[in-house]
Amino acid sequence: MHKINKSLLVGVLSATPLFAHSADNVELPDTLAMTAYGTGSAGYTQMVSIGNLLKNEYGTSLRILPGENDVSRMTPLRTGRVPLCACGIASYYGAEGVLLFADPQWGPQPIRLIATSTASFGLGVAVAGDIDVETPEDLKGKRVAYIRGDDALNVGTEAFLAFGDLTWDDVERVEFPGYGRSFEGIVANQADAAFTMSVAPPAQQLAASPRGIVWPKLDPDNEEGWERLRNVAPYFQPHKVTAAAGEGYGKDDPWIGASYPYPILVGNEDLDDKTAGSLIRVLIEDHDKYKDAAPGNAGYSLENQNMQWVIPYHEAVVEYYKEIDHWTEDMQAHQDKLVKRQEVLQSTWKDFMDSNPPEDEDEFRSSWMEARAKALEAEGMEPVFR
């Protein structure tokens, strides 16, 4: 592939706001800002490595604003302070206008997908190894952690229980003030299970404790179980997990479990086409240049992209996939449904906010969720959240 002599570009870069890498049709601003998880996270580390690639290959400086929670990551995207977010599953909640986004300051966000990373890790309920749990069904009657103020973790737990045809009523719900405390509680025999990433430090700590750790199997052929799980959390997908805390989990003996992408690189619908199209081109075509630069970067490869997921792609990303002949009629139909869903949600939110909604926080939320569900069902769409 033809390479531009970068020494010839120094003067050009300082004088122009955009720099076109003509061989690859990459056109990015001098500086690109985004929010991401905190500085110790896998998501932040990945973005730093991608930032190095952008700087070295294309002269673009990536400015990463670390955020410790969903609000601090999503707010700059909503206000236009940054054009991108390397987010978690809260990006989907934002697109749907639910949970923390069922709030007068938020509502459904016009979020569009650029790329995701689905790597060797999984996401699910980790269980103490001394209570004979092999499948989600076996969690009946066990002590399961509930994290105050963390929707993503609690919905994940609820989804895994649903796979086993269980609800919170079928287990002993043990509340904790934070994610880390929930695993300290399992180690201290105050609880038996909690939701986490399979390679996260708390899972490693449980694995190293006297109780040990197991990951309940989610049979990919259990269609009813997967339907129940996805009715709660449609963003999960079956996954052979080759990186998980505990003895015996690896490439030769994976955890047959689940995952969803992390991080999820998103912008808003009005994100500049050149930026969105150039980013996906770099992430896919330059994958060999950064895939080993940070844990999880392998997950950005073309084969790891879920082309029919729960957030619509940015239109410039769709155009790129069409260009490389990686876009089908089924993918387009799915994309159209997701865009239509967002249009329904946006329109419903506008009407709801114009209708003098209740000022009380709880009443506002319940009224919005009722209006939201009614509007989606009228279009033949599943509300998912109620």
Cα 33 from chain centroid (whole Å): 19
Edge to edge, the sheet with strand 193-197 lists 172-176, 143-147, 193-197, 123-128, 213-214
| Span 135-186, pLDDT tens digits | 999 999 999 999 887 888 899 999 999 999 999 999 999 999 888 899 999 9
Q: What is the CATH number of domain 123-259?
A: 3.40.190.10
For 31, phi and psi rounded to 5 degrees?
-130, 135
Domain boundaries, the chain: 6-118+262-341, 123-259
| Span 328-355, pLDDT tens digits | 999 999 999 999 999 999 999 999 999 9
Average pLDDT, whole number, for the chain? 91
pTM of model > 0.85? no
Is the confidence at residue 4, as pLDDT, over 50?
A: no
Pick the CATH number of 6-118+262-341 from 3.30.70.20, 3.40.190.10, 3.40.50.2020, 3.40.366.10: 3.40.190.10
Question: 């009005």: which residue's tokens?
Answer: 270
Measured between alpha carbons, how far is 116 from 52 in angstroms, rounded to an integer?
18
Contacts (Cβ under 8 Å, ≥6 apart) of 104: 353, 357, 364
Q: What percent of the chain has pLDDT over 70?
A: 94
Closest C-alpha to 372, from 92, 98, 151: 98
Residue 46 contacts residue 35 (beta carbons within 8 Å): no
Domains 6-118+262-341 and 123-259 share a fold: yes
| Span 219-234, pLDDT tens digits | 999 999 999 999 999 9
Residues paired with residue 313 on neighbouring β-strands, in sequence order = 113
| Span 45-67, pLDDT tens digits | 999 999 999 999 999 999 999 98
Is the confidence at residue 248, as pLDDT, over 90?
A: no
Name the H helices within the chain. 10-15, 42-58, 70-79, 90-96, 151-163, 179-187, 201-208, 223-232, 273-285, 287-290, 315-323, 329-353, 361-378
